[in-house]
Structure 1
Amino acid sequence: MPSKSRVFYYYHPDVGNFHYGPRHPMKPQRLSALNNLVVNYGLDKHMNVKLCPRASASDMRRFHSREYIDFLERISPKNAEENEEFFIKFNIGEDCPVFEGIFDFCSLYTGGSIEGAMLLNHKEADIVMNWSGGLHHAKKSEASGFCYLNDIVLAILELLKYHKRVLYIDIDIHHGDGVQEAFNFTDRVMTVSFHRYGNMFFPGTGNMYDLGQKDGTYFSVNVPLQQGIEDEDYCSLFRPIIDAIVENFRPEAIVLQCGADSLGCDRLGCFNLSYAFFYFIAFCIYIFMFLPILQSLI
């Protein structure tokens, strides 16, 4: 396993202070609770703990449109009414509400992912974790599924500056539609998503025949699953699929999105995966592939 000097963990104490709304299922305060567990179990002593830097509007525009970033930069509950004309255009509403400090929140979780990718590019790290990131639904000019900025896409774009091929693995219960859409036409990024599919489950995309387009055909792999799947059955799919992809695609870096809603008893999810299985997945990817890993957890 890599030494402490090769493992980096990004966190910012302010990231847990944002609030989507009283009945909204997205709870950034969970990130503060998670960090308390990391510290109290002494895991921080085995990693380099770094403060998430703030991504600038310029950083965000490497993927997102200027008009959309300008909107996020100026919008707040105080001026929401006068900006309502943009809500439909940018998909602002019940799932993606306007809340106080929305741009600062996006800046913090995105900054950790971008800088983490830079560390991997310059071979200063083997593993980078940004558990405030992983917001995989955001589109170029549109919020979606609690996600405003797609920090994963921005991190992969950074990795592509130094790596010929990047593998993206998504084990969130929801299809990683925003990331696949961003790289649907390229053969340099392979997106692999294991997710629940069917019965109008959000976002409704990611069937097994969705394989990418043009130069990106066969570089999108979707594994639609039914509710209730447990560790053993999940593993029987995950291991052979990822082994075959790594063998044939030969990625130079891996981005892993570990959506916690695939865990058993999650309020939004309906899978039955254990905490131990999540650790097993991350461990297998590092041990068997021995590649730089950028982990993110929504």
Structure 2
Amino acid sequence: MKDSCALIYSSRFSGFSYGEEHPFKVLRYRLTYDLIRELGLLAPPEARVVECPRAPEEALLSYHDADYLKTLKEFSRAATPRANFLYGLGDVENPVFPGVYEWSRLGCGGTLEAARQVVEENCRVAFNVAGGYHHAHRAKASGFSYLNDAVVAILSLLERGLRVAYVDIDAHHGDGVQEAFYDTDQVLTISLHETGDDFFPQTGFTHELGRNAGYGYSINVPFSAHADDLIFEQAFRRIVLPLIEGYRPDVLVTQLGVDSLRTDPLTRLECTTGAIEYAARSFAGTGLPWVALGGGGYDEVNVARTWTLVWAIMAGIEVPDRLPGRVVRRLKELGYASDLLRDEPRLAHPDDFARAQANLEQHLAFLERRVFPLFGLTPGETP
């Protein structure tokens, strides 16, 4: 089983909805699964589909406030709309829809199952596409996130005495996960994201380095708007890979949001699927037990294409650059006018790139100066 990879999925995902006008569409999970299957990426014996379970309520209590969970559960079953803004529930961002509590337990249960697969079943990697709700706080919903599945699963790994590196490549800062582990050296959190200067959640600056025993174990690389693949890959090569090597975790947990793609409607980064593939190959190359989670992405076809490419890397299968004709016809109904599985290479405008590069160099220099000595690293060394 040590060479296997597990895709955590359930047809039950399709039974929920944030609302017709909400940017978060659960359709993206079914599209991803269907595209993976259509390309034959579930055929190899080492590639397994595992039914997504609901998280046990006692597991949720390892992190989340009991009154918050009680309120979320009550609102989820209410016949009329409810709201509690203290808990972040019922606004436009975090609507209370029928079954929202069960929906959130599914996402959290999938991540707990992914962690179990790599620890107990000796999987190389387990991918919960319906995970990565990195904005949820202990007693507050935020950023389309009601339960923080990554935090709950990481806590389960810490209970086993394991050290965890968490790397988040979503365009939005992984604020909820950073907050949960800001005071400990048992979890290294690294987030690459669009700058919080004028972008949700307005956090994730380089000076946020952790506190007390956790100082130096909270790492952020904020990108300027219009940062592209070259900017992303530099940050990944110079910060992410050396710190994983220096920290030497037992388990790698990653949040693979794809809202950094240039065609995402909610963000201003200009990455392509090539940046996400680069990250996935790099994560696989660490040789660490790997718990992979979904995350942001507000163009459903972008999500399906990119996570299919990621799964192909996990399964060790080469895939073509273009989609099969039968898939193209279906995606055209959703407004996707191309036949590309992979994006064509594209760089930012030279002026935008120059600004993004200058900004990146400042952040990298700061982190290499302040953090690298804590891990015995020398700036410029790449594992």
TM-score, length basis structure 1:
0.93
Q: Counterpart in 2 of 1:271?
A: 269
> What are structure 2's unaligned runs of at least 5 residues?
296-383
The answer to whether the 8 A contact 1:189-1:219 is kept is yes
Q: Counterpart in 2 of 1:168?
A: 166
Q: Counterpart in 2 of 1:295?
A: 292
Distance 1:141 1:80, change over 3 A: farther
Deviation string 1:96-146 (CA, Å, 9 cap, x unpaired) is: 011011011111111110011122222521101001100000001100000
Q: Counterpart in 1 of 2:54?
A: 54
Give how far 1:252 is off.
Answer: 1.1
Counterpart residue identity of residue 182, structure 2: N
Q: Counterpart in 1 of 2:257?
A: 259
Q: Counterpart in 2 of 1:136?
A: 134
Counterpart residue identity of residue 227, structure 2: I
Deviation string 1:29-51 (CA, Å, 9 cap, x unpaired) is: 11111111111111122311010
| Alignment partners' CA distance in 1, 2:57 and 2:7 | 23
Kindly tell me the number of residue pairs found equivalent between the two proteins: 291
Distance 1:223 1:245, change over 3 A: same
Distance 1:104 1:281, change over 3 A: same
The 5 Å alignment of 1:14-53 reads: 14-46=12-44, 47-53=47-53
Give how far 1:60 is off.
Answer: 1.2
Q: Counterpart in 1 of 2:75?
A: 75
* 1:152 and 2:144 correspond: no
| Alignment partners' CA distance in 1, 2:122 and 2:237 | 28
TM-score, length basis structure 2:
0.73
Give how far 1:198 is off.
Answer: 3.9
The 5 Å alignment of 1:113-132 reads: 113-132=111-130
Q: Counterpart in 1 of 2:227?
A: 229
Deviation string 1:214-267 (CA, Å, 9 cap, x unpaired) is: 111110000011111111221011112122202221111111101111112001
| Alignment partners' CA distance in 2, 1:198 and 1:257 | 18
Distance 1:35 1:43, change over 3 A: same
| Alignment partners' CA distance in 2, 1:149 and 1:185 | 21
Counterpart residue identity of residue 187, structure 1: D
* 1:66 and 2:66 correspond: yes
The answer to whether the 8 A contact 1:139-1:149 is kept is yes
Counterpart residue identity of residue 127, structure 1: V
Q: Secondary structure, in 3 states, of the residue corresponding to 1:49?
A: strand
| Alignment partners' CA distance in 1, 2:80 and 2:207 | 40
Deviation string 1:152-198 (CA, Å, 9 cap, x unpaired) is: 10111112233532000000000000000000010000100001114
Counterpart selection for 1:89 from 63, 86, 89: 86
| Alignment partners' CA distance in 2, 1:53 and 1:169 | 24
| Alignment partners' CA distance in 1, 2:143 and 2:108 | 16
The structure number with the bigger radius of gyration is 2
Give how far 1:80 is off.
Answer: 4.8
The answer to whether the 8 A contact 1:12-1:51 is kept is yes
| Alignment partners' CA distance in 2, 1:66 and 1:171 | 30
The answer to whether the 8 A contact 1:80-1:98 is kept is no
Counterpart residue identity of residue 13, structure 1: S
Distance 1:80 1:88, change over 3 A: farther
The answer to whether the 8 A contact 1:264-1:272 is kept is yes
Distance 1:18 1:211, change over 3 A: same
Q: Secondary structure, in 3 states, of the residue corresponding to 2:264?
A: coil
> What are structure 1's unaligned runs of at least 5 residues?
none
Q: Counterpart in 2 of 1:13?
A: 11
Deviation string 1:41-78 (CA, Å, 9 cap, x unpaired) is: 11122311010011122221111111111111121374
Deviation string 1:252-297 (CA, Å, 9 cap, x unpaired) is: 111110111111200112111111321221111221x210111111
Q: Which moved more, 1:101-110 or 1:156-165?
A: 156-165
| Alignment partners' CA distance in 2, 1:281 and 1:256 | 10
The answer to whether the 8 A contact 2:206-2:220 is kept is yes
Give how far 1:17 is off.
Answer: 2.6
The answer to whether the 8 A contact 1:16-1:30 is kept is no
The answer to whether the 8 A contact 1:134-1:296 is kept is yes
Distance 1:163 1:290, change over 3 A: farther
